Amino acid sequence: MKDGHIELDGNIPHLGIEVDESALAKIRGDGMNEKRVKVAVLGLGIMGSGMAGQLIAKGFDVAVWNRDRAKAQPLGHAGARIAASPAKAADGADFVVAMVADDDASRRVWLSEEGAFAGMRAGAIAVDCSTLSVEWVHTLSAAAAERGIDFIDAPVTGTKPQAAAGTLRFFAGGDPAVLAKSEGLFLAMGTELIRLGPVGNGAMLKLINNFLCGVQVASLAEALVMIERCGLDVQQAVGALAAGAPGSPLVKMLAGRMLARDYRPNFVPALMAKDLRYASVAFAEQGIALATADAARARFEAVAADFPDADMAAVIEPIRAIRGPSR
């Protein structure tokens, strides 16, 4: 093991590539004038802070807002304008990007009295990169349309390292012309804009993605506790699993973190529990009961109560705490 990762014969594919330095010029070429493109970023947690940092580095005129203003200070020092409300951040912006925790936070940041829609001009583009319910995304898109604002739902794949490095991938739903106009914005924060069709499709694929990830992580935690208890050589057993069919990039990364008890947060368990809850609702509407998601969600809810600020890898700890049978 090295730095909390299992060392294997094969390398995990590197996700980072050089971001196209012409991202800003591309947006201008799609209809913007030669002024600096103005972007407001709402929500400066683990993900939003990295995304805002990339936009500043790429030459965008960035305004930021966060409920806890102290989290905005480093970006202010880097050149962002710190706004007192989402509406003030959005005032005059060409694009407004939100990255918040859930439907309730999204509702507040866009639709409250001082929400972003109150400050946006008609013709501006609203982008929500949060992991949200499909139902809320459709409601939010309709609210934007009533105000003459274009809307894209574009949740991301990747966590803290990818946000900081500008190597996120975006699952985007929206009008093709609006997506084309916005491509340079996305490529300033990531490496790929995956166009999935109309609004709501981005949210749907993200919930499917996180359903698969959440079940994998909970299953991995249970498997590792079994390996620790049953007398197998832990390093040998985990290495064998990681090199075989179960060895997804997620398993390879989190197995090392679980064994090293490295729970510095990239993605907190409460958010995974929320994503699994939203996924269960979306699947149920299509007649599919997510029994595995419900079981995994119980694991993440348990760890969120005791380790609220830890990484989701800490899902293993409540399982470790369950005493095995006496021998």
Instruction: List active site positions.
Output: 206
| Separation of first and last alpha carbons in the chain | 31
Rama region for 174: left / alpha / beta (φ>0; ψ in -120 to 50; rest): left
Residue 204: helix, strand or coil by DSSP? Answer: helix
CA 246 to each of CA 28, 241, 294, 315: distance values in angstroms, whole numbers, following the listed order: 45, 6, 21, 18
Exposed (0-12), middle (13-18) or buried (19+): which is 176, by Cβ within 10 Å? exposed
- Hey, what are 103's tokens? 């439907």
Under a CB-based contact definition with an 8 Å cutoff, are residues 134 and 78 in contact?
A: no
Nearest alpha carbon to residue 172 among 117, 105, 97:
97
Give 65's strand partners.
42
Under a CB-based contact definition with an 8 Å cutoff, are residues 273 and 300 in contact?
A: yes
Amino acid identity at 288: I
Pairing of strands 168-172, 156-157: antiparallel
CB atoms within 10 A of CB 87: 21
Nearest alpha carbon to residue 98 among 162, 41, 163:
41
Amino acid identity at 37: V
d(C-alpha 140, C-alpha 161), whole Å: 29
Nearest alpha carbon to residue 275 among 286, 287, 290:
290
Per 3-state DSSP, the chain is made up of helix, strand and coil in percentages (nearest 5) of 50, 10, 35
